[in-house]
Amino acid sequence: MTVTDWVGLPSTVSWTTIGNVGSPHRATVDRRGLLTPWPGGWSLDWWVGAEDRWHLPAVEAAVRQRLVADAPVVETAMRVPGGDILHRAYAVTTAPSDGGVEMVVVQIENATPVPVALALAVRPYNPRGRARIERIALVGQTTVTVDGAVSLVLPRPANRAAGSTARDGDVATPVLAGEAGPDFPQSLRCEAGSASAAFVYPLPHRATLTFQVPLAPPARPRFRGLGRRTASPAPVSPSSVPTADQVANGWKAHAGRGVRLVLPDTRLTAAVEANRRFLPLLLHGSQRRSSRGGALVLGALDRYGYRDDVAGALGEDLDHLALHAIAEHWRLHRDVSFLEGAAPAIAAAAEQLARDRSTSEDGAGEEGLWRLRGLLDAAEVLDALAEPGGAADARAHAARCRSEVKAGIEAGTIDALTACWPLRLLSADDHLVTATVTAMRDGLGEGQACIDAATGEPGFSPFRTLQLAHVELELGDRRALERLDWLLGVATATWTWSTSIPSGPEGERAGEGHDGVVAAAMLDVVRDLLVRETSDGGLALCSLVPHDWLGQPVEVHDAPTHHGLVSFAIRWHGDRPALLWELAPHDGTTAVRITAPGLDPSWSTTELRGDALLAAVPAPPGFTAEPQPDVAATPVRLSPRRTT
């Protein structure tokens, strides 16, 4: 086996996205700390020479990963004799005085009591496969260019360096053999596009080295021959680069503007907190805001209270596929100023949908379902804009489209499930939906996961599993909790999911390595578990209660709903839950029936605020809840924010 064989391509497609809010530029960090600064580009690897041998994260067993404070700050720890070497990667935008540059910061810390050697390697591949590098150059001793573009800023000149091409083999060969030299090659070119380089440093005990990688990809040239371009050095003072903890605190402040949750399940809490931070990053890239997947990501962001983020993303570019996100934004926030500003684009999108319906031969299928949803949403927002003519036209087209779509849906197909969630065109108890639920349960693989028969992707589908969970949740079926538990169990250490999950130890993940649609669907399941609009126009709090939550406090603050901002808390008097709630309704909202089916199916109210001692919740056989203080000893203040 050659060095390239065992240092080469990752065996599974799985990664964590990092970036800056409000920017389209994204980097990825795979499960071993391999950094790819932009999709399809080259990658930055790291190797550690310890007392015994060189340790390579790609093949070492003792590699762990986590997020710092649930933020898109990825820490990868590799065990070597004496302790851990820590690799942290996160995105920042430098201060205006430093040019306002977007970059990824890579910090590598020696947390052991002995010195080690560190090699940082520029490599012609990424988690998806091979990448092309024709030339690597060192400019001014600390600036590394890849194909003429500044790609890596070193903290100081490297002690030793090595470069290689396709003819010479992988750059790991000279580095691991101790043959890296004091000087980097003057002219490192590879017409085959397989140039690689490594820069070696001593890393004393308890010391940290910081490297900088520009985040924005270079402009695409029309032809090959990238090595003919030149670039000037662009270093940034290390003193101006924020630390990992500072960046994590910034993400915490951003997340704090939305819904606040207090849940008994620490694992679920970590997954929710991480993914509500990821969603703003996942709007860009593969889940574009104009796609159906983008609409799901925007909807989840909106339901978690990030009104301004969603309005900004929608305001950049509206088309007919964005109508669902626009209408949901209106339903949740009654953002009149946004609708007024987007009125021309909304009207044009509605007209486009009507033309598509009239000319399309495909009345059913996913395309037809989204077309119908868009027409219904167009009618609603045009009504809100006081455009009765346009609303009436959209509603008339929707009526004709509905009959076509309903006739085209077959019982037991994924289309019926999609019509129920996320599109809310069919109720969960519709016979078309229940037939699909039965068929999916009959075809379940291991545990509670679903395959995706519609796409034929290998392995299990987190998204289809969550679709099923949404329907079961609405039906009050506790199997929804088993789907959610499965999902948490197959998450990566950084709470991400690929489009498909391997069905066995030899299986590979497919699709997106960090799928924003799965993240959005997971957040929506948790949100609907806690706060859900019902088909009869009401609000359901705690539709299902996991057994481990019995006797434990639960709080939800400032959750946007179609009726207004809702907050509630649960405390316990023995086996009886005490529910405190407050709804700050939208202007013009009539009486809303509030229920708590997972706690007391017999209870309901139309009061905007209050407290109630509900009926005892029967515990499962053999379950004993942890004793909790009386509700009077743990008061809760419910004070929904009126703005976001």
Q: What is the DSSP string of 315-364?
A: HH---GGGHHHHHHHHHHH--HHHHHHHHHHHHHHHHHHHHHHHH-S--S
pLDDT of residue 286: 41
Quick one: which of 295, 310, 296, 299 has its CA closest to 257? 310
16 versus 450: the higher-pLDDT residue is 16
Q: For 268-300, write each residue's pLDDT tens digit.
A: 999 999 999 999 998 864 444 347 888 899 999
The 10s digit of each residue's pLDDT in 104-154 is 999 999 999 999 999 999 999 999 889 999 999 999 999 999 999 999 999
Residue 479 has pLDDT above 50, yes or no: yes
Which of 446, 468, 472 lies closest to 459 in space, CA to CA? 446
pLDDT for residue 226: 45
Helix (H, G, I), strand (E, B) or coil at 306: coil
pLDDT per residue as tens digits for the range 426-444: 999 999 999 999 988 887 6
Average pLDDT over residues 481-495: 96
- pTM for this prediction: 0.92
Could you tell me whether strands 160-164 and 149-153 are parallel, antiparallel, or unpaired per DSSP bridges?
A: unpaired
Residue 164 has a CB neighbour count (10 Å cut-off) of 23
**Residues 81, 167: Cα–Cα separation, whole Å:** 35
**What was the pLDDT predicted at 238?**
54
Q: How many CB atoms lie within 10 A of CB 22?
A: 12
Question: What are 313's two structure tokens?
Answer: 């993303």
**C-alpha dist (Å) from residue 186 to 43, 135, 145, 161, 189:** 22, 11, 12, 12, 10
Please tell me the total number of residues recorded for the chain in this structure.
644
In the structure encoding, which two tokens stand for residue 511, read together? 């699709």
CB 142 within 8 A of CB 233: yes
